[in-house]
Amino acid sequence: MIIPGKIKVAILIGIAVLALACIPLIVQLKFNFDFENFFPEGDEDLEFFLEFIDDFETDDNFLIIALPSESGTIFDTTYLKMVRDFSAASGDFPHVDRVISLTDIQLPYRTPFGIAARKLVQHDRPDRFSSDSLLLFNSDRFIRRIVDEKATASVVFIKTIDNITIDQSTELIDRIRQYMESEEIQQWHALGRAFFQVEISRSQLVELIRSTIISGLLVSIILFFLYRKGKVVLISLVSIALSMLFFLGFLGLTGRELSVMAALYPVIMIIVGTSDVIHITSKYLDEIAKGEKPDFALMRTVKEIGLATLMTSVTTAIGFASLFTSRIAPIREFGLNAAAGVLIAYLTVVIFTTLWLSISPNHQLLRDDKGRYFWYKWMNWLYHLSTHHSKRIWMVSIGLLVLCIIGITQISTNYKIEENLPRGAQVTEDFYYFEENFFGFRPFEVAIIYDEGENATDFKNMRDIDRLEAHFNSYSSIRSVSSPAGLYRLLYQMDRGDLMGEERFPPDSATYESLQSYARFAAGIEPNILMPANGQRARISSNMDDIGADSVKIISQSIEEFIQRELNTAVADFRITGTGVIVDKNAQYVRENLLQGLGLAVLLVSILMMFLFRQPLMLLAGLLPNLFPLLFAAALLGWFGIELEAGVSIVFAIVFGIAVDDSIHFLAKYRLVRGRGHSVDESILRTFRETGKALCLTTLVLFFGFLVLLFSNNPPTFTVGLLISSTLVSALAFDLLLIPSLLRWIESKK
């Protein structure tokens, strides 16, 4: 069907108007970085944790501000006044529940007239700094929790509201920054959920802009050297830009939020759109170069390349959509969004690019050079290589398969928080500062649930809690341990009138019972978050160094063995929990969902290929060469020591979805040529000459497109770019070298 020129122009104008309408929707897009989103849904440990925090509070509702002393010591009146003033001001900041600092802590002690309290550090009594120092460093209660080991910095502990949102976090962090600027406080460090949300979101926005600009420039350069015609390059770039606008508008219209993986969207849209543009444009230019009229060239392009490109877009979308099997919400959303983006790019390119090309004069599109002969020569060389060295190709492939299997056995899932923090960012520097000078960020807890008739305040039960806390302290990677037993150790120390002495748990039940009357001081000494009023539950709370998920699992098993061996499990259930433990379980689900998702993707792609080629053996030619890139990508993880975690797992879906595209284009062209009556070898040769060039060009674009991610400051994004760029080259090599051999074998079986 021939479309009149006026209708073509009207459609193009309509597309431009629709693109303008997307701009207000794009402005409404927001970033979302909530740790809860990365919890594996449907997990029994997660359900227990959510029930557990109902009785207590979340373990990440804190914001810690470290204030280093410019004089080199915290025992300085000017410094302590600064800490006191900031602590007092913080209580009035938005979304803050409570504030504790070095100048706020008071310790009880016995006097002849009753119980009194004294400040841990008296900021206005320099003459007492020496004794305060001895008291402060006499116990592990405060070291690396309130002050560092060298007494050069202290922290202000700000308890925020539970489940603080990113907007609330932004408001709080901005207020802290305003205070620091007004008081001319130059050195300070932050750690906590609110700070992470704000800084990671800002980092993602920078990543999004950077990746878009770099990808756009790179594609422009490639298209210029490919076509050498300004009109063709302009059409291609506008098509790609429209695909991006429509995709972002779709996200805004559907109310989607941008997660930590949003920086991948521009790269995916640009390179997928570019791939479609190259296939469509190259076919159209080939047709008009033969002397065909624009409308006929348009129809043939849509008929021959449009269908194949549709199938490749669907298979790529299936690859992304396979991530829907993940239990982790951000990965599911990324997969569905990316799948929608691939289809949006296809529709935009097929409609907009073909219409604009068909109304453009031929002399603005065609160039007269020897570029086609360059590709003609190389495609002939690849054809002869696949024909005369088939056995060697298969032997090399089998050798690579063995090496890949060896690499796969080395894959680690020892996930670390630091590996997901942006390089060179303030949030990362502060994270390392706290890891080195104070306590770790990763929460680690044990929940204790007592049977009916039992109570945590019973002497025998509290003594078990004290023993378990002491066992926690035996691990060098576990810091800042707190439990209800810690309060009784301090009260016993006070009762002896020996605040400078060693902390010990009450030796007998009589002494323990005598300390119960001092419970009214508990709120001022230890926050009442370790045991509810009824005493039916208790918690041992701590922070752990960022040693990795697998290492945490080993420590957890050791603690569970201690509990079973040393504590009375007949009266209570001891269970390791905490946000860190829940997130670590992602490693297990990543492996499971990866296999499920890929299995589903292979099944759906197989159905599509059966529908397209209608011959079972063609599935072998379409799928077998694409299993090698998957194995190669997995082997790279093992060879380079890259941990398999949630962000990296998306590599396999992307690799499979895109790698299958080349196979479909090659096989579709072969079937078309073979159907015209040509021999097997002649059909393969013509396929190399007509489709091989486009495959090489699109792979070149994909390679450099994903290589743009190497400019990312986000380690998972960097890893994704490195792995995909490397494996896509291997996918092209396997397609062009293995598929011809498989086709000859399949034809011999007919």
pLDDT: is 319 or 248 the higher one?
A: 248
Superfamily of domain 370-409+587-750: Multidrug efflux transporter AcrB transmembrane domain (1.20.1640.10)
The H-or-E segment that residue 686 falls in is helix 680-687
For residue 397, give every residue at least 6 positions away whose Cβ sits within 8 Å of its Cβ, in sequence order, or none: 628, 734, 738
pLDDT tens per residue, range 157-189: 888 887 788 888 889 999 999 999 998 888 899
CATH topology classification for 1-30+228-368 = Multidrug efflux transporter AcrB transmembrane fold (1.20.1640)
- Cβ-count burial 357-390 (b if 16+ within 10 Å, e if not): bbebeeeebeeeeeeeeebeeebeebbeebeeeb
Whether the pTM exceeds 0.85: the reply is no
Query: Residue 523: is its pLDDT beyond 50?
Result: no
Beta bridge partners of 539: 447
Which of the four pLDDT bands, split at 50, 70 and 90, describes residue 580? confident
Of 406, 414, 482, the residue nearest 634 (C-alpha): 406
Query: Residue 314: is its pLDDT beyond 90?
Result: no
Query: Residue 693: is its pLDDT beyond 60?
Result: yes
Averaged pLDDT, 606-630: 75
Contact 491, 515 (CB under 8 A): yes
Query: Quick one: tokens of 736?
Result: 């062009």
pLDDT tens per residue, range 704-723: 777 777 777 777 778 878 88
Rounded CA separation 340/328 (Å): 19
pLDDT: is 693 or 58 the higher one?
A: 693
Of 740, 712, 745, the residue nearest 211 (C-alpha): 712
Query: Residue 526: is its pLDDT beyond 50?
Result: no
Least confident interval from 149-158, 239-248, 386-395, 601-610: 601-610
pLDDT the model gives residue 524: 44
Contact 154, 147 (CB under 8 A): yes
Least confident interval from 176-190, 348-362, 525-539: 525-539
Place of tokens 């190389």: 378
pLDDT tens per residue, range 64-79: 899 998 888 888 888 8
Contact 666, 280 (CB under 8 A): no
pLDDT the model gives residue 558: 92
One-letter-per-residue 3-state SS of 555-615: HHHHHHHHHHHHCCCCCEEEEEECHHHHHHCHHHHHHHHHHHHHHHHHHHHHHHHHHHHCC
Per-domain boundaries in the chain: 1-30+228-368, 370-409+587-750, 430-584
pLDDT the model gives residue 114: 62
Averaged pLDDT, 525-543: 71
pLDDT the model gives residue 188: 92
pLDDT the model gives residue 34: 62
For residue 322, give every residue at least 6 positions away whose Cβ sits within 8 Å of its Cβ, in sequence order, or none: 335, 597, 598, 600, 601, 653, 656, 657
Beta bridge partners of 98: 159
Least confident interval from 4-13, 234-243, 646-655: 646-655
Does 1-30+228-368 match 370-409+587-750 in CATH topology?
A: yes
Percent of the chain, pLDDT > 70? 87
pLDDT the model gives residue 178: 93
Mean pLDDT taken over the chain: 79
Query: Residue 665: is its pLDDT beyond 80?
Result: no
pLDDT the model gives residue 527: 45
Rounded CA separation 535/484 (Å): 10
Q: What CATH number labels 430-584?
A: 3.30.70.1430
Query: Residue 521: is its pLDDT beyond 70?
Result: no
pLDDT the model gives residue 172: 92
pLDDT the model gives residue 562: 92
pLDDT tens per residue, range 243-290: 888 988 888 888 777 776 676 787 778 778 887 888 888 788 878 877
pLDDT tens per residue, range 98-115: 888 888 877 766 666 666
pLDDT tens per residue, range 185-195: 888 999 888 88
Rounded CA separation 671/686 (Å): 11
Beta-strand runs (E) in 40-143: 62-68, 96-100, 106-111, 114-119
pLDDT the model gives residue 189: 92
pLDDT the model gives residue 704: 78
pLDDT the model gives residue 207: 75
Rounded CA separation 724/419 (Å): 18
pLDDT: is 241 or 122 the higher one?
A: 241
Query: Quick one: tokens of 409?
Result: 């056995």
DSSP of 482-531, one letter per residue?
A: E-HHHHHHHHHHHHTT-TTS-----SSHHHHHHTGGGGGGHHHHS-TTSS
pLDDT: is 598 or 144 the higher one?
A: 144
Query: Residue 532: is its pLDDT beyond 80?
Result: no
Of 277, 291, 266, 273, the residue nearest 366 (C-alpha): 291
Contact 509, 143 (CB under 8 A): no
Least confident interval from 330-344, 410-424, 680-694: 410-424
Place of tokens 């991006």: 244
Query: Residue 619: is its pLDDT beyond 50?
Result: yes
DSSP of 5-63, one letter per residue?
A: HHHHHHHHHHHHHHHHHHHHHHHT--B---GGGGSPTT-HHHHHHHHHHHHS--TT-EE
User: 225 vs 148, 155, 282, CA distance in Å?
Assistant: 58, 57, 14
pLDDT the model gives residue 367: 66
Averaged pLDDT, 672-679: 82
Query: Quick one: tokens of 91?
Result: 């209580």
pLDDT the model gives residue 174: 92
15-24, 212-221, 481-490: which is most confident = 15-24
